[in-house]
Structure 1
Amino acid sequence: MKLPQTQAAVLRAASATDEKTIAEVADETDTDPATVYGAVTELADEGLLSVAETTETTATVTDEGYEYLADGLPEVRLYRAALDAGADDDPASMGQVIGASGLGGGAVDIALSNYARKGYGTIDSGEITADPDADPEADPEADALASLDAGQSVDDEDVLAQLARRGLVDRDETTVRSVTLTDAGVTAMMEGIETAETVDRLTPELLTSGEWRDVEFTEYNVEADAPEQRGGKTHILRQTADRVKDVLVGMGFEEMEGPHADADFWINDCLFMPQDHPARTHWDRFVLDTPPMQDLPEDLLDRVEDAHRNGVGPDGDGYHSPWSEDFAREIALRGHTTSLSMRYLSGHQIGELEEPKRCFSVEKVYRNDTLDATHLLEFFQIEGWVMAEDLSVRDLMGTFEEFYRQFGITDLQFKPHYNPYTEPSFELFGHHPETGELIEIGNSGMFRDEVLEPLGVECDVMAWGLALERLLMLMYGFEDIRDVHGTLCDLDLLRETEVLH
């Protein structure tokens, strides 16, 4: 029997009694494994080899995993700091415990998101407790990391899957193919194998010399495995944000831009939020250690202060609470993009606006929330407003129905709500496609006179803040937003999720 050189070498290396992997045959024949696999496929088609397939999964510790091996898992460090603070007896200040733990940056978020999950204690309203019966020395994830580092296998699939979601191990699934000679292969070997001279590619030399007319070309195997190539792609959250922008532009809106860190004046005071409101404490916002903002329009500052102290109109009463200009000038990360709306509606950002006018933004906001399946410390808000004469709540509801219809969501529900800056106000809810539960997806209302009059706006303004991540959950059925956003996101899910249009 006459065979191409590689096929002949592979057949000679194969055994009728012992299975040999493609890698082992490649080593014996000093041939690239991909080339060997191509030859194996051809020989199997001829009935000379039989091929068996098994799947092997390997787990390797990532760089972040090695950091935790050296320093300890963030949630374990947080638990030990909580014990030192006496949180096993009485709740302790979360800020104090985090400071004592030495955690910083993203490690804080990771510790908080895994602390309660593992039963180390509870986190609520800025306080932390520690379960005295918890045993951090027996943390299964820490033990699994140590075993992998020592070259040992880990049999607990749930633990490995959790470590992979956290990015602490990389899991690779490979198909191992082994070959053995068939009876026909043994017969062919006994009868003798001759090597046929073949070439696997057309070269310039073959063309110029004319030898291509006389040589035998190796058949191209279109079924052979090729190395997996993963190119970059736009994150599904960014794809959804871009689509939201396209929809709103198509509805006649213009995009707003502005700073992520801004004066509390723009973030809250212009919105008629009293300065002693709980949402303006350090428990809910991120204050920056930077000099106060000096570039505030003094006349607007006076009008906003007057609205807070005395109200607006003959029946206005204002707030009977402290007002501080120093507080208004403090810099914080914006808790909502309504700070942009205040900048634009006041004329401070791009000059005086003429109604009718529609504006929107899809930008990040920052809140000191407790991490869970639907809350993050930073997320995207879909801000929007319309200024025109004689607007009503029916106009606002109709806008939402048209907007969400573009994303296949038609079962909106509206619930009356209180906001310091809008009246009337209502929240929006949608049904989760997988669980069927109602999920809050936004807040909205008509801006109050106490907001509009200091800004110099003389017509109606309807406004809203919608959650981009919640829209993503309704569109794709994700049950935990941390699967698609943040340090614990599921990369395979992001790679495989089909974009909806």
Structure 2
Amino acid sequence: MKRPQAQVAVLQAADAQEDRRIDDVASEADLQPQAAARAAFELEADGLVAVSEETVAHYELTEEGDRYVRESLPEQDLYAAAMDAGAGDGPVQMGQVIGASGLEGGAVDIALSNYARKGYGEIDSGEITADPDVSPGQDPEMLALEAVADGRVDDAEEAALDQLERRGLVEVHEETIRSVVLTDDGVTALMEGVEVAETVDQLTPELLTSGEWDEVEFTEYNVEADAEDAPHGKEHILRQTANRVKDTLVGMGFQEMEGPHVDAQFWINDCLFMPQDHPARTHWDQFALEQPDEIGDLPEELVDRVRSAHKEGVGPDGEGYHSPWEEDVARGLDLRGHTTSLSMRYLSGEEVGELEPPERYFSVEKVYRNDTLDPTHLLEFFQIEGWVMAEDLSVRDLMGTFTEFYEQFGITDLEFKPHYNPYTEPSFELFGTHPETGEIVEVGNSGIFRDEVLEPLGVDCDVMAWGLSLERLLMLIYGFEDIRDVHGTLCDLELLRETEVMH
């Protein structure tokens, strides 16, 4: 039997009694690993060897994970401080415990997001409790970190390792190990004798010009053999869904809005009839800029009308808030907490000129809120903003719009709950059922803009509006249970690579 040189070398280096790694076979046969693998697959196609594959995971600590191994996890520090403060006996002020823990910056958010998840205690309304029966020294994630550091990964729980990877404390590198073993036919072929065939594996310019290509024997190629995997970039699933939302809304007759991520509180809150002493306008809920700290230009007449709406109300029965309203506050610059700031710019005519009904506008843009990280909240996320300006709109029109929109994504079990907003009346929240957990998930807020919003803007017809969460729509479509798996510092890259796009 005649075979190409690489195949003969692999046959001679392989064993009939045990699997041998292709890397070892290549070394013994004096071949490159890729050439040995190709030869092995070609021999397997002829039944002379059998090739097996095994995926092995290698774990390595990140810089952050290494620091925690040497010190402790933030949630362990928070638990220790809570116990010292007496949280094992009853609720204690969270600010007091955080101050005593020594945690700062992002470590505070990390501790808070993992504290209740691990059963260390509860956090509610600014107070914290601690379970005295917890043994933080036996924290599975810390034990898994130590196992990775010591090279004892087999001793660690798989669930703990997965969580460490999501938290960015370990990096996982997967290696595919191929092994080869001689079959009975392969042993027989060796016993009968295998010779090296003089073959050519490349068609060169010299072979073509000399005409020798017509006389030589070319190496056979197995086009079905596995090729080396070449990872490549792809559009993020969240961006894919955002583009799908945009296409859907354009198909429903909407135009897209654009505008600044950093904007004046005037556009973000004041035009929405949000009182300047509203709790949601404090630094606990939004991010203010230090430099620059205020907008340079605001339309004077609109400022006067908005001020009047806040202080005196609108119409004969208007009351206003009877609370302080300062233009300096309205000029303050923040990262927008919602994209309704764009709606205010467009409805006022400042962005594209005066609009005449009927009009439909939308945006799918990022917003920023000082929330506590958990499976359904992030500090920055995408909001699907939209509004319709027309005569004689009702809640039925709004509900019908949502029904049509969500049906495009296979969601037909919407629920509506009455709600209060300072800027809409009537108002209601939207809920959908999570396909995996069965949990009712809030997906948005909506309503009909109040006269106190519309009259200062110069709009004399109805406007229905909404703010929906793109990430929560994604959860309902794909069954994700934790937004942090989709984007952010803890995102699951393998999940994003392997998730099949739905249309």
Q: Please, what TM-score do these two structures have when normalized by structure 1?
A: 0.90
For residue 198 of structure 1, what is the aligned residue in structure 2?
199
C-alpha contact (below 8 Å) 1:92/1:129 kept by paired residues: no
Deviations 1:180-206 (A, max 9, x none): 344444444344332111122222222
2:153 counterpart SS class: coil
Shift in Å, 1:281? 2.6
Does 1:428 find its partner at 2:430? yes
For residue 263 of structure 1, what is the aligned residue in structure 2?
264
Could you tell me how far apart the structure 2 residues matched to 1:281 and 1:420 are?
16
C-alpha contact (below 8 Å) 2:98/2:108 kept by paired residues: no
Deviations 1:478-498 (A, max 9, x none): 222222122222222211212
| Most deviating of 169-178 and 85-94 | 85-94
Residue pairs, 1:381-460, within 5 angstroms: 381-460=383-462
Give the length in aligned residue pairs: 500
Could you tell me how far apart the structure 2 residues matched to 1:471 and 1:182 are?
53
Could you tell me how far apart the structure 2 residues matched to 1:203 and 1:184 are?
35
1:176 counterpart SS class: strand
Could you tell me how far apart the structure 2 residues matched to 1:326 and 1:83 are?
44
Aligned residue type for 1:231: H
Deviations 1:143-195 (A, max 9, x none): 32333233333332111121222233333444433333444444443443321
Residue pairs, 1:342-381, within 5 angstroms: 342-381=344-383
Could you tell me how far apart the structure 1 residues matched to 2:179 and 2:460 are?
79
Could you tell me how far apart the structure 1 residues matched to 2:349 and 2:70 are?
54
C-alpha contact (below 8 Å) 2:268/2:338 kept by paired residues: yes
Could you tell me how far apart the structure 1 residues matched to 2:309 and 2:164 are?
53
1:444 counterpart SS class: strand
| Most deviating of 288-297 and 21-30 | 288-297
Could you tell me how far apart the structure 2 residues matched to 1:44 and 1:350 are?
68
Could you tell me how far apart the structure 2 residues matched to 1:269 and 1:95 are?
34
Q: Which runs of 5+ in 2 are unaligned?
A: none
For residue 255 of structure 2, what is the aligned residue in structure 1?
254
Could you tell me how far apart the structure 1 residues matched to 2:96 and 2:245 are?
37
For residue 274 of structure 1, what is the aligned residue in structure 2?
275
Shift in Å, 1:82? 5.5
Deviations 1:411-450 (A, max 9, x none): 3222222211111112222222233333222111111111
Q: Please, what TM-score do these two structures have when normalized by structure 2?
A: 0.90
The structure 1 residue matched to 2:297, chosen from 290, 295, 319, is 295
Residue pairs, 1:467-478, within 5 angstroms: 467-478=469-480
Distance of aligned partners of 1:26 and 1:116 in 2 relative to their CA distance in 1, 3 Å threshold: same
For residue 40 of structure 1, what is the aligned residue in structure 2?
40
C-alpha contact (below 8 Å) 2:42/2:225 kept by paired residues: no
Could you tell me how far apart the structure 1 residues matched to 2:184 and 2:251 are?
69
Shift in Å, 1:41? 2.9
| Most deviating of 268-277 and 129-138 | 129-138
Q: Which runs of 5+ in 1 are unaligned?
A: none
C-alpha contact (below 8 Å) 1:285/1:333 kept by paired residues: yes
Aligned residue type for 1:347: G
Deviations 1:384-408 (A, max 9, x none): 1122222222222222222222222
C-alpha contact (below 8 Å) 2:375/2:481 kept by paired residues: yes
C-alpha contact (below 8 Å) 2:275/2:310 kept by paired residues: yes
C-alpha contact (below 8 Å) 2:427/2:448 kept by paired residues: yes
Shift in Å, 1:40? 2.1
1:154 counterpart SS class: helix
Question: Aligned-residue CA RMSD in angstroms?
Answer: 2.7
C-alpha contact (below 8 Å) 2:109/2:372 kept by paired residues: no
Could you tell me how far apart the structure 2 residues matched to 1:456 and 1:218 are?
79
C-alpha contact (below 8 Å) 1:18/1:180 kept by paired residues: yes
1:242 counterpart SS class: helix
Shift in Å, 1:71? 6.1
